Structure 1
């Protein structure tokens, strides 16, 4: 029997190697541990790749930004595959299912199979399946969650069907909700509205034992390559505020997806490297899980943020972009 673990937003696991050791500074009476992370050199790259059997890549900010492929990614993935490395792609973006992400990879010219993709929409469905969930789920989110719930046979309501619904707040108005809903899943939703917030709130507060599941709590996301946009944390925050409950988080940095992947492929975690662009999700996900970690500066995190006295999360290495691993490519005679 496979035992899969989850954490709440207030219960993210911390391991001894999750936080940086380095110079201690004082700010406002608080002691801060400055993160010490070396910039990856070619010898560092060789050592890291040699010690790694499986690479787990975040997508937004590592593979692409919005709908634009980041320079050098196809060649880097081809190089790692030619070296016999297993490649897995993990994203907190719940708007697409694995089938949807397979299509996106294909549209960008990348040959990635559905079995190599783990999205937070998949993680939400997999979590419900792992606990033998038999009730209905109410979804604040988009088609990715709905498709993944269909794949595991979980009945669902809400989602895109509630996109245009409005609340008039007339005198005496009462919103009815389905008492058979046993879980509310909150994922990124470009059509979030007051109706959805109220319906989710009623289910969580009034249906005994109703689960509150968040695909992730990311503050921002890359919907386009032009700027950052408010992330799923804003949707989850609305429901947290109205219910006064903490969600079960199934996306990064919670442990569920990593445990699922490691169990599925019988992986040793000390032979996995997590590659991401976010300190508080990707790198913390790797550190908490006992993985090697590599931060790329092609997404959210800047070198200034990494080296800030306010940051105490240190990757094993950092580099400008994933394609910096191409330094390992054999030189043709």
Structure 2
């Protein structure tokens, strides 16, 4: 896996993870000016807001904290996620949202992707909408959802030679046509890049269970091309650098709060941030405390709402 501009000293630590006390929470609030929140499993599960989250966000805003919402789910653009926040009754601004769909488009813009080239999208409308906002040409996506490959004698699938990057995001309509088309572009178009929005093993499509994540889509194309993707979502550095620069923050002023060890906590650890794990999503306390786990957050708590224990004066 190629991680964009990786930084830090890794996430392994010998100290045992500590459940956050009231004093720990006060210390974090004294130190931190910006909270970066994962969304699935931290703010919501499926289409349901996690109890106490709206009140916690209001409290943090009242304290003058900068809030940023980061998601590896690329199915929606920032505009799409803003609608979800609004529909759930959460007061969030579009500039506070960083999706991996946006990260993919921003990365291509940062490397000055050629205007005469195209992106082949394995993914949904979120990636396409963000590419459109950057003026980057693209094909694929939902338009290829119903395409099938008939493996009859002499069958040959031709790819567009102008595709210079394949972006793989979560795709509920992934099929063999998309996998083969992406494979051909990466293997046969000179210099074609392989970009993954994330490598998450599972995702929360509903609040009833975990579903296979984008790691399964990326894995199929990694297997057929024998190429490692450049990852632009968590735990890659690219998104964090973008956030820190935009809001003019030092890394020691930022706390990463998430529910995943290998993306959220690793993202924070590698970036030199304070890290907070909540148990309202993917990671269980048993998994966190297992001797087999070497990725340890600074503190952990049952859910974000546990921060409500602390009531500080505004701008404390």
| TM-score normalized with structure 2 length | 0.96
**Residue 35 of structure 2 aligns with which residue?**
55
**Residue 126 of structure 2 aligns with which residue?**
144
**Residue 199 of structure 2 aligns with which residue?**
217
Distance in 2, matches of 1:174 and 1:81, equals: 57
Distance in 2, matches of 1:248 and 1:259, equals: 16
> 1:265, CA displacement in angstroms?
1.6
Aligned Cα RMSD in Å? Answer: 1.3
**1:44-89 CA distance string (max 9 Å, x none):** 1000111000000000000000000000000000000000000000
**1:189-221 CA distance string (max 9 Å, x none):** 000000000000000000000000000000000
Is 1:67 matched up with 2:47?
A: yes
Aligned pairs, how many? Answer: 311
**Residue 8 of structure 2 aligns with which residue?**
15
**Aligned residue among 270, 278, 281 for 2:252:** 270
The answer to whether the Cα contact below 8 Å between 1:105 and 1:112 also exists between their aligned partners in 2 is: yes
**Residue 107 of structure 2 aligns with which residue?**
127
Task: Check 1:221–1:12 CA distance in 2 against 1; reply closer, same or farther (3 A cut).
Answer: farther
Task: Check 1:41–1:282 CA distance in 2 against 1; reply closer, same or farther (3 A cut).
Answer: same
**Residue 178 of structure 2 aligns with which residue?**
196
**1:285-333 CA distance string (max 9 Å, x none):** 00000000000000000000000011000000000000000011369xx
Distance in 1, matches of 2:122 and 2:83, equals: 23
Aligned with 2:57: secondary structure?
helix
Distance in 2, matches of 1:260 and 1:330, equals: 30
Is 1:288 matched up with 2:259?
A: no
Aligned with 2:68: secondary structure?
strand
Gaps of 5+ in 2: none
**1:134-162 CA distance string (max 9 Å, x none):** 21000000000000000000000000000
> 1:266, CA displacement in angstroms?
1.6
Between 262-271 and 144-153, the greater mean CA deviation after superposition: 262-271
> 1:15, CA displacement in angstroms?
3.3
| TM-score normalized with structure 1 length | 0.91
**Residue 165 of structure 2 aligns with which residue?**
183
The answer to whether the Cα contact below 8 Å between 2:167 and 2:195 also exists between their aligned partners in 1 is: yes
> 1:181, CA displacement in angstroms?
0.3
Is 1:39 matched up with 2:32?
A: no
**Residue 256 of structure 1 aligns with which residue?**
238
Gaps of 5+ in 1: 1-6, 23-35
**Residue 212 of structure 2 aligns with which residue?**
230
Aligned with 1:190: secondary structure?
coil
Aligned with 1:201: secondary structure?
helix
**Residue 290 of structure 2 aligns with which residue?**
308
> 1:12, CA displacement in angstroms?
8.4
